[in-house]
């Protein structure tokens, strides 16, 4: 669902809701009978605000609230690419669960153990993955997430640096205001211009880091998603299990680091947004900085959602193999 709730059917508020209510009735009766996976797109609607039906939006919001917390019956996404990764991970996890249940029901302990280097070739959306096996994909994930950790360290360091620079500029302005030249507007504007230049430099740096973060996140998540799918084809050997456990720990560390850096960036964004509107130069720099910090926060939140789902998928895989 996105920004429209739908048209009443006579039995429910919309066709989608009627389908959901029927499925939910079965789910409540027997939770193992089927699984519910509902997705909400959290992105601006592709129409002008004046043409939006806010009654429809309110109904979507009410329905979403009725489902409880995100990650239970529903998930949110911002882009088609993020939705693709989520649903591939979720479907893989469901298949893994069914395979495990069926195996336990049959008492089947004879599932073949296939060497992870010799899997049948898969046709993948990304040609760069065509020849990769399970271990190749897991190694690619490690490489990509090592790079991502480096990017986050740079972002965190740059945020600390600009915070210190802003504190220094604030001290300069305070001292100037209390000094003998306090009424010299040109001198005051020169000091403020220095603060604006610091902010512009930070914005430029973050605009170069954002595409890198997105690129390596996408590649790493694609590798982990495909590895989860391939793991359904065979029983992992000891090396594969250890690799999965290692990458599971790396994903958890990555998510926790993102959460910390996101909080740091969000706090700084609030500080910048509260700066007084002193000059046009500062106002432009302030607006650009608030915007780029908002982009960073959105990117981190999206990445944390995917990381949580990767963790859940590989936790399921490791449990089923041990």
For 176, the token pair is 């100037």
CB 71 within 8 A of CB 64: no
Q: Report residue 320's pLDDT band, with 50, 70 and 90 as the boundaries.
A: confident
What is the tally of structural domains in the chain? 2
Span 37-59, average pLDDT: 91
Examine the pLDDT at 107 and tell me if it is beyond 60: no
Examine the pLDDT at 147 and tell me if it is beyond 90: yes
Examine the pLDDT at 290 and tell me if it is beyond 90: yes
What pLDDT was estimated at residue 106? 58
Query: pLDDT for 6-31, tens place per residue?
Result: 999 988 999 999 999 999 999 888 88
* Same domain, yes or no: 81 and 142: no
Residue 28 within a domain: yes
Q: Residue 77's domain spans which residues? A: 15-106
Query: pLDDT for 254-279, tens place per residue?
Result: 889 889 999 999 999 998 898 888 88
What CATH number does the domain containing 208 carry? 1.20.58
What pLDDT was estimated at residue 172? 83
* Same domain, yes or no: 101 and 217: no
Residue 5 within a domain: no
Q: What is the dihedral of CA 135, 137, 139, 145, to 10 degrees?
A: -150
Residue 214 within a domain: yes
Residue 116 within a domain: no
Q: Report residue 285's pLDDT band, with 50, 70 and 90 as the boundaries.
A: very high
**Boundary-marking domain end, from 47, 71, 106:** 106
Residue 120 within a domain: no
pTM reported for the whole predicted model:
0.76
Task: Sort 125 into a burial class: Cβ within 10 Å, 0-12 / 13-18 / 19+.
Answer: exposed
**Boundary-marking domain end, from 42, 76, 106:** 106
CB 77 within 8 A of CB 83: yes
Span 98-109, average pLDDT: 64
What average pLDDT does the structure give for the chain?
84
**Boundary-marking domain end, from 106, 140, 166:** 106
**C-alpha 317: how far from chain center:** 21
Residue 299 within a domain: yes
Q: Report residue 210's pLDDT band, with 50, 70 and 90 as the boundaries.
A: very high
CB 78 within 8 A of CB 306: no
Examine the pLDDT at 134 and tell me if it is beyond 60: yes
């Amino acid at each position: 669902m996105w920004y429209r709730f739908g048209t009443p059917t006579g039995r429910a508020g919309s066709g989608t809701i009627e389908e959901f209510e029927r499925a939910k009735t079965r789910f409540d009766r027997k939770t193992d009978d089927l699984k519910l996976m509902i997705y909400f797109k959290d992105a601006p609607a592709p129409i002008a605000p004046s043409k939006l039906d806010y009654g429809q939006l309110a109904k979507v919001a009410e329905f979403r609230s009725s489902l409880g917390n995100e990650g239970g019956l529903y998930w949110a996404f911002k882009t088609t690419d993020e939705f693709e990764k989520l649903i591939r991970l979720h479907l893989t996890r469901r298949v893994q669960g069914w395979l495990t249940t069926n195996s336990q029901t049959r008492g089947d302990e004879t599932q073949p153990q296939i060497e992870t280097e010799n899997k049948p070739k898969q046709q993948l959306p990304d040609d760069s993955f065509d020849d990769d096996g399970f271990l190749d994909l897991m190694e690619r994930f490690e490489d990509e997430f090592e790079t991502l950790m480096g990017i986050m360290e740079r972002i965190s360091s740059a945020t600390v640096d600009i915070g210190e620079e802003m504190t220094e500029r604030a001290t300069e302005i305070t001292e100037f205001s209390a000094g003998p030249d306090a009424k010299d507007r040109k001198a005051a504007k020169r000091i403020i211009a220095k603060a604006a230049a610091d902010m512009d430099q930070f914005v430029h740096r973050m605009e170069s880091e954002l595409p890198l973060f997105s690129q390596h996140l996408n590649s790493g998540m694609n590798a982990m998603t495909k590895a989860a799918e391939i793991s359904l084809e065979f029983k992992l050997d000891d090396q594969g299990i250890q690799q999965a456990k290692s990458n599971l720990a790396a994903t958890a560390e990555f998510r926790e680091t993102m959460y910390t850096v996101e909080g740091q960036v969000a706090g700084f964004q609030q500080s910048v947004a509260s700066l007084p509107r002193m000059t046009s130069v500062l106002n432009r720099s302030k607006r650009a900085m608030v915007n780029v910090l908002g982009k960073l926060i959105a990117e981190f939140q999206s990445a944390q959602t995917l990381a949580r789902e990767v963790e859940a998928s590989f936790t399921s895989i490791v449990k089923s193999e041990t």
